[in-house]
Structure 1
């Protein structure tokens, strides 16, 4: 089986790091993107160690992938995104997977108090950044031979139901769903599959406050259950390893007991 190439954005921590480690164990060649070089290098070390241990077993290629490539990238900058995918093409000649993961929640803020600059910062990263990366991946996947590839967008439970004081985050995650659907439709003629994973309460630095308590729809502050981020990574790996003739269009992976079904 040919070496498969994956770009992971937001790879310096949290879900991005967990997915990189999981894909590394499966033998993928990784290109790791994020704003800061040192966290990316830490992810690269973790993924390389995982690859060394994961060269056998179900879903693996049976060989160790080369070391991950670290490309510090601001995904809100079109020139930086173009450079990321140009380097991927120059090094490896193709792209099989984009995990479009970079994002931010922003500070929880009542609607009436949200500054326009804070709104734009969330929109620029969560939506425009996701579009720019998907666009660059689409161009590469369309042009390469053999044609095609897969894009997996990181949505959120908030693509379905908001939390209080999260209007910018919620709006962008609803928009990511539209991005996913459009990419799926426009990618059909070129064997480009696009799916979305909506994640609820994976245990990362971003969700650490949930153990002490977060605001609920009725105004209470209450702790919420979380799940192991490795369970998210395994789901992404499953989606990534499907043949291009099959696609997980939308997947929801959440802590079983979190207040989502019936939230509010």
Structure 2
């Protein structure tokens, strides 16, 4: 069965991936906090259900996955995508509330969703499934003044490797897509800040290419796995030496 849960599904990358998979024949569970947006999305897609919850709330996440399993009986894919980018600052100027928020959404939230998906995939018949974590190029190289985002995304790389290892004998694949500068609301804020300073905004690319890449990873057979994929704007200064 082509069944998937997508977190952070109400906007940006999550929304693009949800729409792409839904129109490719997947049955979709949509997780985000904005129930009104999710209900609108679910009504517009061929086979989708709104599962409004805060990914950092363990009980709410457990309930959302249980509701999805009760309807479909199977989970083939989790696109573990929900995340936040807190205001840029040097570490000594980062409010502790921003640190706590980044940890709760970007790390605890992804852990909680992976935990529920892994358990469902281990128990179900046929056994197995795939988890795709949204890592970001910040999982490998930092953006200036982005300590909360960088640290949490580095941690996601460890989560991906651990899940890939622990899922190996259970027919559970785990991979990570590291996305650089796709033009979404998050990058729009960074671009606007650059323009306000009289700087050139960072190069970017269309979010539809991310959705294409996730779909390609998702539709692999379970004896194949893309462990890490990087997709980014060609002009990004991701590789090279100063």
User: TM-score, normalized by length of structure 2?
Assistant: 0.95
Alpha-carbon offset, residue 259 of structure 1: 2.1
Unpaired runs of at least 5, structure 2: none
CA distance in 1, matches of 2:159, 2:8: 18
1:39-58 correspondence to structure 2 within 5 Å = 39-46=37-44, 48=45, 51=46
CA gap 1:42/1:207 in 2 versus in 1, 3 angstroms? farther
Of the candidates 171, 184, 188, which is equivalent to residue 191 of structure 1?
171
The answer to whether the 8 Å contact 1:155/1:196 transfers is yes
- Structure 2 residue 140 is matched with structure 1 residue 142: no
Q: In structure 2, what is the equivalent of residue 24 of structure 1? A: 22
Q: Give CA deviations for 1:138-183 in whole Å, capped at 9, x if unaligned.
A: 0000000110000000000101111111001000000000000000
Structure 2 residue 234 is the aligned partner of structure 1 residue 260:
no
Take 1:120 and 1:210, find their aligned partners in 2: how far apart are those partners? Answer: 21
Identify which of 214, 217, 222 aligns with 1:239.
Answer: 217
Aligned residues: 241
Say which of 54, 74, 78 aligns to 2:54: 74
- Please say if 1:99 is aligned against 2:97: no
5+ unaligned residues in a row in structure 1: which ranges?
52-66
Query: Retained in 2: the 8 A contact 1:213–1:222?
Result: no
Matches within 5 A, 1:189-228: 189-212=169-192, 214=194, 221-228=199-206
Please give the root-mean-square deviation of Cα atoms over the aligned residues, in Å. 1.7
Following superposition, the deviation at residue 211 of structure 1 comes to 4.2
CA deviation after TM superposition for structure 1 residue 45, in Å: 4.3
Q: Secondary structure at the match of 1:260?
A: coil
- Give the CA deviation at 1:210: 4.8
Q: Give, in angstroms, the shift of residue 89 of structure 1.
A: 1.1
Query: Alpha carbons of 1:103 and 1:70: their partners in 2 closer, same or farther (altered >3 Å)?
Result: same
State the Cα deviation string for residues 41-92 of structure 1 (Å, max 9, x = none). 333345x1xx5xxxxxxxxxxxxxxx31001010000000100111111111
TM-score, reference length from structure 1: 0.87
8 Å Cα contact 1:31-1:71 kept in structure 2: yes
Q: Which runs of 4+ in 1 moved over 6 A?
A: none
Shift of 1:212: 4.4
* Per-residue deviation, 1:213: 5.5
